[in-house]
Every structure is written in C-alpha cells, then in structure tokens.
Structure 1
Amino acid sequence: MPAIKDSRIIILATNGFEQSELEVPLNELRKAGARVDVVSLKEGEITGWDKNDWGTAVKVDHTIADARVTAYDALVLPGGQINPDLLRVEDDAVAFIREFHASGKPVAAICHAPWLLIEAGLMRGRRATSYHSIHTDMENAGAIWEDKPCVRDGNMITSRKPDDLGAFVKAIIDAVEENASARVAAE
C-alpha cells in the first residue's frame, strides 16, 4: 500500500505565518517520510509570528512562480493573521490554490488560512472550520462552518488553531495516503 513516504507536499507561506502552524506540519510530515517544500513569493527566507512577536526564519525551497501543481501530492496553508492576508492579494498564490484544489489533491488550511480558500472561491457549500474570529467571513463565503478541531470535506481539510495541529496533521497524512491508494488502484 502506498504511504506518505512516497509523497511530496508543498507548504505555501510568506512572512507572518504562525510559527507552529508551519513548523509542526513541516516537521511531522517529514518525520512521516514525505518530502516537504516551503514555497513563497520570493527566494530566501520567511519569518514567522510566534505568539506575540516575530519568530524564527524558515528557508524557502522554491518560489510560487517555479512551483507546479503536478509535482505535489498535497498543499498546506499555515495561518496566522499576517501570512494569509498578504497572500490573498497575490494573484499567483490564489491561482495556484485554485488550480491545486481543481486537481483533486488535498488542500489543508489552518487558523486564518481559510481566507485564502475564500479568496480562491472555494468555500461555497463546503463544510469547514477556521479560527473563530473569521467564522462570519467563512459563512458569508458560503461555507458550512463547524466549531471542530478539524473538518474534512472531500479533498479540503480545515482546522481552527495551533491546539488542533495533531488532528490537522493526521488528516493531511490520511488524505495523502488515501489519494495514493486510489491512484494505485486505478493503475
């Protein structure tokens, strides 16, 4: 049976990502055997937000201009307030999210990152969750908002906050493994 160790996962972020919401999935998915690339708007490093102040920098592996949906098995969108707010005004980032979702592969967003799913026009009629302060934004975009640690609706995975990272990462791993199994069964 295929496993996550055969997978490539992309984390799309920019400055101001919630430190734990990028680092925990990055480390846990790598520990599970996946190759995980951090992709951003520019080369170099991006700096996180860690609770009440700037956090530590993370190396960018590729720019969004160089990333290809076909090269990856899942897309992870960390939250924080700053990161998704900066990304949702970047046409290339929003188009990439929209294209990734259309591919049928897992798209996972936590905290404020569902703002990106709203901007991409992907929430109407979808069960989802988010950080509580944007639940009205989610509902106004047509989401069926649920106050749960993690909600999976087809290939879309959403989660509320850093406390829910365990459920979030598990849902990503499960979705990647299911997609890999479905590909093998179709061959």
Structure 2
Amino acid sequence: MGHDLQGQKIAILAADGVERIELDQPRGALHGAGATTELLSIHPGEIMAKQSDILDAGSVPVDAVVSDAVVTDYDGLLLPGGAVNPDRLRVNRDAVEFVRAFAATGKPIAAICHGPWTLLEAGVVKGLRLTSYPSIRTDLRNAGAEVLDQEVVVDRQFVTSRSPADLPAFCAAVIERFAMVPAR
C-alpha cells in the first residue's frame, strides 16, 4: 500500500467488546500505509476484545482516554464494530461529543459493522449514504441516512462497511479516503 499516510495520526475509538479483527486489520492497514494510530477509549488501561461478539479475544492497551483527547490532534477517525463496543460508546457523553466534533471538522471517519451506531448517536448521519451490519440499518434509516447493502460505501468524509467479511475492501477504501487529507 505504500506510505500514503506518512505523517498522519489516526484516532481509533473503541470500548470493551470491540470486535478484535475490526480493530486489528484496519489498524494494521493504517500502519502499513505510514500512519500512526492512537487507541482512545472511555476508560484507561485496557479494553477487552471479542470475536463474533461472544468469544474472548484478549485485551488491547488504551493509549488515551477520549475525555482527554483533542480532535485537532488527529487526521482521521476509525470506529470499529462489535455489537457491545458501540453500544458502550453511544451512551458515553465524551465519546459521542468527540465523534460529533470530529465530524464537524470534515476530516475522514471510517466505521464498520455496528460502528455507525456511534455516528447515529452523534447526530451526523442524516442525509448520508451508509452501510452497516444489518441489525442497525433500521436505526440508521430512522435517523435520516440512506442505507445501502454494499461492502463499502464512501460518502463525503465517511467510509462505512458491513462486517468482517468486507475488511479487505474496507481497509483499501479507508487508506484511499484518508490519503486525501494533507499530512500535518
């Protein structure tokens, strides 16, 4: 993939219950393209990852607490899924405000699987074309999004994808969209 993202710093916002593969594969793609990443969460220490929302998949160290994070420090935002992870984020005021403020910058945001739930809670999906895991599509429609059943949908600053099965296409689209941001 080259070094398209050299000099970029990408925030990854996740909580306990994050789908491990939806965190690791995009993060690896970002690193492979030259970006650095910082895992933000709603508490310090580690978050517990899952596989298929059920099986324990180890822990991941948190780099910073979202309440202490500054939106302008980042060039892009990644929201991995898993059903539990975004459900925890969307009830956390600091996480929702960070996503809302980040969306207001116009910088790219990528969300996969249940990740768009946090976008919905932040009030930024109205009028967007998105995709997601099937179980949250009605929520997205009710919030004013046009929901498509495609492996990846890119609309304005947003890149969305349905599930881990779409990770190769999602990672490629994330790198392509994030590369449009000039390095700081």
TM-score band w.r.t. shorter chain: over 0.9
Match of 1:7? 8
| Matches for 1:39-54 after TM superposition, within 5 Å | 39-51=40-52, 52-54=54-56
Could you state the TM-score of these two structures normalised by the residue count of structure 1? 0.93
| Matches for 1:119-134 after TM superposition, within 5 Å | 119-134=121-136
Aligned residue pairs: how many? 181
Contact 2:10 2:75 in 1 (8 A): yes
* Structure 1 runs (4+) greater than 2 angstroms displaced: none
Paired amino acid for 1:37: E
Q: Does 1:135 align with 2:105?
A: no
- How far residue 3 of structure 1 moved from its aligned partner, in angstroms, is 2.9
1:26-80: CA deviations, max 9, x gaps? 1121122110111111111111111231111111111102211111110000000
Paired amino acid for 1:79: G
Mapped to 1, the partners of 2:157 and 2:165 lie a distance apart of 22
Mapped to 2, the partners of 1:56 and 1:127 lie a distance apart of 34
Structure 2: gaps spanning 5 or more residues? none
Higher deviation after alignment, 139-148 or 169-178: 169-178
* Paired-residue identity, %: 47
| Matches for 1:58-97 after TM superposition, within 5 Å | 58-97=60-99
Match of 2:32? 31
Give the number of the structure whose residues are more often helix, by fraction. 1
Q: Report SS of the residue matched to 1:164.
A: helix
1:97-119: CA deviations, max 9, x gaps? 00001001001111011111110
Root-mean-square deviation (CA, aligned residues, Å) is 1.4
Paired amino acid for 1:129: T
Paired amino acid for 1:136: T
Structure 1: gaps spanning 5 or more residues? none
Match of 1:149? 151
Contact 2:141 2:147 in 1 (8 A): yes
Paired amino acid for 1:146: L
Mapped to 1, the partners of 2:175 and 2:126 lie a distance apart of 25
